[in-house]
């Protein structure tokens, strides 16, 4: 019979399952947005590229801007309720995406999706307060692993659905998976702080960004999250471009998909392992080692001359950097008051979403000039993140709670 001490384990596992289900659904349609843009009547390749970039960027941009607002509200009314709000909106809006008749209608739907987003932010915040304080890295790592693993499963399943029943069907399946995730959230997750944490009830407090910056090293954590997300999104974009330039590759899409899926599994392992190691070693040092080590394979991909070497280097970078978001989020959870964690995670999510929106645009522009240079730039950014941690936030390196 589960004890009160085991409740946080059940809650976090439930949260991981909920996140995995929803994010597998998101991956059903996201990779195929360019094809859907063409189906909606945009035929010029350059316009398809522009529309695809806008549609991919607008949702995280809007979500990031509104993240602090939703986060502050979550501190007052409950983070679970805010996740319910997001999932209900996703069911309706994503189903509507499968019914649109023009790319402009799809753009409006993507904007609305961003307005009601914040699902992953609340999941991270819930994970950080649903366990004893010393277990925060494990909880966040478990939820982050579930999100990363969806990249290895969702695109392949979504491609099967799209090829057999059409791209519109993929949106309806995603809406159904969001509904399933919503049901799991309502039935399986109990929002309650465990007694093992020993935390006294605190009055929710909304902290503006100016006040957040007064928290030691909060700005550094924002920068680390931005850099980690930028590198991850950048590599996801550049791998297919690199594969297309390799000699003797006939099935570019299949080869790219294999590399992306295997790398996603490696990143999942890294995120889970980072959470476990965070129980024994300082999070800051783990993040520093990961950044310094991950910069090397990122840069070496610039000179990769075959798909196997590219696969191995991408997996090496995923193993080093896959846990970086988990570690940075965990550091953020350590340095902010528990009662204001929703507000804090809203600001942290803003940094991540800015990285999500900026990375494809900046990477695409740089890769158009020099693809090897884009890989070298990502490697340099990983070392910049390490330098930021070592020289700008030394206090985080030895922090244990």
Evaluate whether 311 touches 259 at the Cβ level (below 8 Å): yes
Q: Examine domains 1-190 and 209-401 and report if their fold is the same.
A: yes
* Section 325-347 average pLDDT: 78
What is the structure's pLDDT at 182? 94
Torsion, Cα 30 35 40 43, to 10 degrees, reads 140
Residue boundaries of the structural domains of the chain = 1-190, 209-401
Least confident of 128-142, 199-213, 353-367: 199-213
- The pLDDT mean for the chain works out to 83
Evaluate whether 288 touches 258 at the Cβ level (below 8 Å): no
pLDDT band of residue 339 (cuts 50, 70, 90) is low
Q: Which candidate, 350, 349, 296, 354, places its Cα nearest to that of 320?
A: 296
Residue 200 scores a pLDDT above 70: no
Tell me the CATH number for domain 1-190: 1.20.1250.20
Share of the chain above pLDDT 70, in %: 90
Least confident of 217-231, 278-292, 386-400: 386-400
Residue 219 scores a pLDDT above 60: yes
Q: Give the C-alpha separation, 242 to 230, whole Å.
A: 18
- Which positions ≥6 away from 12 have C-beta within 8 Å? 127, 130, 131, 138, 139, 142, 143
* Section 108-134 average pLDDT: 81
Whose structure tokens read 């999104």? 233
Its CATH architecture, for the domain 209-401, is Up-down Bundle (1.20)
Per the model's pLDDT, the better-predicted residue between 258 and 267 turns out to be: 267
Residues 250-262: tens digit of each pLDDT: 777 678 778 888 8
Q: Give the C-alpha separation, 70 to 208, whole Å.
A: 13
Per the model's pLDDT, the better-predicted residue between 77 and 217 turns out to be: 217
Residues 146-165: tens digit of each pLDDT: 888 887 787 777 777 777 78
What is the structure's pLDDT at 196? 41
* Section 62-76 average pLDDT: 77
* Section 223-250 average pLDDT: 87
Residues 22-37: tens digit of each pLDDT: 988 888 877 677 778 8
- Which positions ≥6 away from 225 have C-beta within 8 Å? 325, 328, 329, 332, 348, 351, 352, 355
């Amino acid at each position: 019979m589960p004890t009160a001490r085991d409740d946080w384990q059940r809650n976090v596992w439930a949260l991981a399952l909920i996140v995995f289900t929803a994010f597998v659904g998101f991956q059903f349609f996201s990779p195929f947005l360019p094809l859907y843009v063409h189906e909606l009547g945009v035929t010029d390749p350059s316009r398809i590229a522009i529309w695809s970039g806008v549609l991919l960027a607008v949702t995280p941009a809007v979500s990031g801007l509104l993240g602090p607002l939703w986060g502050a509200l979550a501190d007052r009314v409950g983070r679970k309720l805010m996740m319910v709000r997001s999932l209900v909106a996703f069911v309706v809006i994503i189903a509507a995406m499968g019914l649109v008749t023009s790319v402009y209608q799809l753009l409006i739907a993507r904007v609305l999706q961003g307005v009601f987003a914040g699902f992953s932010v609340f999941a991270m915040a819930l994970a950080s307060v649903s366990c004893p304080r010393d277990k925060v890295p494990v909880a966040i790592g478990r939820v982050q692993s579930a999100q990363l693993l969806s990249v290895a499963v969702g695109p392949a399943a979504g491609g099967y659905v799209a090829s057999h029943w059409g791209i519109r069907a993929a949106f309806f399946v995603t809406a159904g998976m969001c509904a399933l995730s919503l049901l799991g959230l309502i039935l399986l997750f109990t929002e309650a702080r465990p007694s093992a944490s020993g935390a006294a009830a605190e009055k929710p407090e909304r902290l503006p960004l100016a006040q957040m910056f007064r928290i030691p090293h909060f700005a550094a954590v924002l920068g680390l999250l931005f850099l980690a997300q930028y590198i991850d999104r950048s590599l996801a974009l550049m791998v297919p471009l690199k594969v297309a330039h390799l000699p003797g590759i006939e099935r570019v899409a299949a080869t790219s998909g294999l590399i992306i899926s295997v790398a996603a599994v490696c990143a999942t392992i890294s995120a889970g392992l980072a959470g476990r190691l965070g129980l024994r070693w300082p999070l800051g040092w783990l993040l520093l080692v990961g950044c310094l080590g991950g910069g090397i394979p990122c840069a070496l991909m610039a000179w990769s001359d075959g798909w196997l070497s590219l696969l191995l280097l991408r997996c090496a970078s995923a193993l080093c950097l896959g846990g970086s978001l988990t570690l940075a989020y965990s550091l953020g959870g350590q340095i902010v008051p528990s009662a204001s964690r929703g507000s804090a995670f809203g600001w942290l999510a803003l940094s991540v979403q800015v990285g999500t929106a900026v990375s494809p645009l900046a990477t695409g522009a740089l890769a158009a000039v020099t693809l090897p240079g884009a890989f070298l730039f990502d490697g340099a950014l990983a070392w910049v993140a390490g330098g930021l941690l070592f020289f700008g936030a030394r206090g985080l390196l030895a922090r244990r709670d």
